[in-house]
Chains A and B, each alone.
Chain A
Amino acid sequence: MDTQPSTRTPDGGEPAVRLDTITKRFGDVVANDRVDLTLERGTIHALLGENGSGKTTLMSVLYGLYDHDEGTVSVNGERTDFDSPRDAMDAGIGMIHQHFQLIPPMTVLQNIVLGHEPTERGLVNDAAARDDIIDICDRYGFDVDEYLDTPVGQLDLGAQQRVEIVKSLYRGADILILDEPTAVLTPQEVDSLLAVMDDLRADGRSLIFITHKLDEALEISDEITVLRDGESVGTVEATGATEQELARMMVGREVLFDRLDREGEPGEPVLRADQLRIDSDRGREQVRGVDLTVRAGEIFGVAGVQGNGQTELVEALTGLRPVTSGEVHLHDEEITELRRRKRIEAGVAYIPEDRQREGLVEDYSLVRNAVLGNQTLDPFASRGVLNWGTVADHAADIITEYDVQPPNASTTAHSLSGGNQQKFIVGREIGHDPDVMVAAHPTRGVDIGSIEFIHNRLIELREEGMAILVVSSKLDEIQKLSDRVAVMYEGEFVAVVDPESVTDEQLGLLMAGAAREVDDYRDATLAAGSDSSQPDTSAAEETTAAATDENPTAGGRS
């Protein structure tokens, strides 16, 4: 990969795309708040941001999938208002979705021409299509023409992605939107994708590159716009920008969280994992040899940009996903092979990442949801029979104690806001007095009031002696809550650090995979383990980047 300093093609003409103060709301949630973005012709513009920061929403507005509430969209200097992707396509915009829009059993050629088939006497003109595709492939050095007659489903993901790109080019796209294209690729495939993007730019096409990987954004793009909580934090030239700067812009600080006071020292190890290796659904290894120990009365934070194996790790710890190797221990007992239900009964509570899909049954009342996961536990059930009276009392207790609105146990979970749903889940999971709490993104899409509430509750539980594992991609949350922080990158814990002394820069770098630069630091902290008096980082920044825009619940329910 040659990383010659990117040179923006000087072009007196209009920019390829200009988004001006775009605002998009879903109900009360503001997914995009007055976002500006200008894509110059013949350049690559990276759109950087955490999950839920509004990147995909913004691009869906551009691509005609969503109507926006305010602002204007201009393509090639002309005001436009696309009603459908078809309109966007006609205007020369192509989008490569994160989930490929391909038809697995159909051949590569058929997929590429779908909807735009050249025909001759009623039949699809295979030869003409073939020629056109080969032309495109020759021009950009794609290998797609080598397997035009193979069913797409038989290709690996990298090749499928190239098919998607060729499909857009075949449809005449001049402006390409790539939605997290590297998320599913191997490092080698990433390199070749970036090379392709470089070629496309050299040919005069304009690209928007959605990503949350700093190095990739810096490597390939000309300009970088960072989104956070639906707002544009700013746009910088890639030349001269650093990973530290971008990391800080990206994770930022939503509100000024003070680290919560805490008492007591951690006790015995409760949850322990040794050399865990875990595959994703697609069979790719997502966790590569993770060791961890969570002690009683301790909050162990796992920081990291999403998609680095946290989801798989959490699912394996809670019994929802098998491990390929390694062991999980609860107290002194090995639970690696224990089924999910047995783990619940053994005292592993879990606040799931996707609360609407997993954590609640949307059509159930709160009463019925109050026993989800606990349906075999005493006192809610005895000898297989549910005691609805106790469950109803339990639901009422959760509602009172956690201030769930509306305070009516017979409303369906569906009708609650995200924050109230989450408070209800937290209350439920604590309710059966577990030994371990695994909390995955416990405050994602939750309003500020509920965030404070949930945080305080977790700290209280810590003080009561519970062992708590918190996974979050919000740095401030991790720092506020944790006694120790592990940073996860590409399936490994690249460092375990002390949250009080580590700086945002250091964390940002670790999360971006730049572990080498802080190697010394990591070694020091790893050796010290959970000891929280670290001498060498006393210059901890306490209140960095207090850029606090009050911005509730971006990317919540839509």
Chain B
Amino acid sequence: MSTDDRGRLRTLLDRAADWLLDATVLERLAIAVASTLLAIAIGLVIVAAAGFDPIRFASQLLIGAIGSERAILRTLRNSVLFVLAGVAVAVAFRAGVFNIGVQGQFIVGGFATVVSIIWLAAFVPTGAVGGMILLVFGTLVGIVAGGLYGALPGVLKAYGDANEIITTIMLNFIAIGFVGWLVAGPFSDPDATATRTRRLPANVELPQLVFSDPNLSIVGLAVTLVTVVAVAALLTRTSFGYDMVTSGYQAAAATYSGVDAKRMIVLTMTLSGMIAGLTGAVFVIMIQGYFTDPSGIGNYGFDAIAVSLLAANNPIGVLPAGMLFGGLDSAGSHIQINSDVPVQLIDGIVGLVVLFVSAPELFRMTAKRTGLGGDSE
């Protein structure tokens, strides 16, 4: 058996090498890096044009993202959300379904988690065990809610021929409006001044263990990593993942190979929505502790599209891409306090990254014209 194992290891190594040397992988990496650098460069030019010191700003970007333990923890905390939501987008895009509705699924999932925990809290004992039950239950409800909210546009596309891009954008608005109404009305906390739900019970808290940041739990990081690895494994190592990815690459070949295209659309949207729902659950349990008006909750679901694209829709690639966005976000928080440069600049830079990532052809043509990047056909 050992020779067989060695052979297999050899094959794996060969494949890894092939993958790394694969022109498309390298090219995508180059495009991601170029997009980010170009966006930051433009950002710095704007900083300079607005009369600030670009060097100082650049250093503050770095300090804000990774300059101190606090900054690093904050970056990690943001990254958790960007990575999870990015995986949700990547799953759908990989299968050729354009789920723009991760933001809505994220909101629905998070809200369902809060509401279900508060509801169940009345029936379970307080203390650690009860907390565990609530945690698991709430997370599951969040996943299911997100999944259902994702399945809806999937069903509409598969069986009603409704373009998922538009329906998911609409469903984002509906999620924001409807949950916003619920948060302000039926589920509002009468004792709070701000518009928000009641707080989660005190025993619903992820263990702190390693980090000093109260809003970052090792469990949250673990859930993120497990999700990334699980989705990557699903896509690359299972028959179902093969079905999904093949559907994204070449729908006719997928049908030939036995994939039921309509069913696959619904399943893809459901899976994507489930991960978005999980993101919402992690957000409320680990970070917020209650649910506020979703119109001011942050555009994690939208930024996730950028994260996923930056990673060429590869779940493993989402990890560094999500951390980049987490870092930028974190730098934003730092700059807001420690600099005169208005923090919205960071959002603009993120937008530029997205813009450049959307047009890989721009870099290909530029590379060709300048003779860089060798001969890509």
Contacts and interface: CB of A to CB of B under 8 A. Distances in A.
Q: Do chains A and B touch in the complex (CB under 8 A)?
A: yes
A372 B253 contact: yes
* Residue of B237, B239, B249, B255 most packed against chain A (CB within 10 A): B239
A375 B257 contact: yes
Given A360-B253, A384-B238, A386-B238, A341 B258 contact: yes
B239 A384 contact: yes
B258 A344 contact: yes
Given A389-B11, A392-B11, A361 B255 contact: no
Contacts of A385: 237-239
A217 to B, nearest CB: 33
Given A389-B11, A392-B11, A410-B15, A350 B256 contact: yes
A339 B253 contact: no
A495 B252 CA distance: 33
Contact of A362 (B8, B250, B258, B260): B250
Interface residues of A, number: 35
Contacts of B242: 368, 371, 375, 386
B181 interface: no
Contacts of B246: 361, 364, 372
B40 to A, nearest CB: 31
Contact of A320 (B18, B239, B256): B256
Interface string B82-109: 0000000000000000000000000000
A343 B257 CA distance: 11
Contacts of A362: 250
Contacts, number: 77
A358 B239 contact: no
Contacts of B14: 410
B376 to A, nearest CB: 14
B253 A375 contact: no
The secondary structure that dominates the B interface is helix
Given A357-B253, A362-B250, A363-B249, A339 B238 contact: no
A384 B237 CA distance: 9
Contact of B249 (A339, A352, A361, A389): A361
A465 to B, nearest CB: 25
B293 interface: no
A100 interface: no
Contacts of A94: none
Nearest to A408: B18
Interface string A320-348: 10000000000000000001110110000
Nearest to B254: A361
A367 B15 CA distance: 10
17 contacts: A339-B260, A340-B255, A340-B258, A352-B256, A361-B253, A363-B250, A364-B249, A372-B256, A375-B239, A375-B242, A375-B257, A384-B239, A386-B238, A386-B239, A388-B237, A392-B15, A410-B14
A-B CB proximity, top 3 nearest: A341-B258, A358-B256, A373-B257
Interface of B: 8, 11, 14-15, 18, 237-240, 242-243, 246, 249-250, 252-253, 255-260
Given A376-B258, A389-B11, 5 more contacts: A368-B242, A372-B253, A384-B240, A392-B15, A410-B14
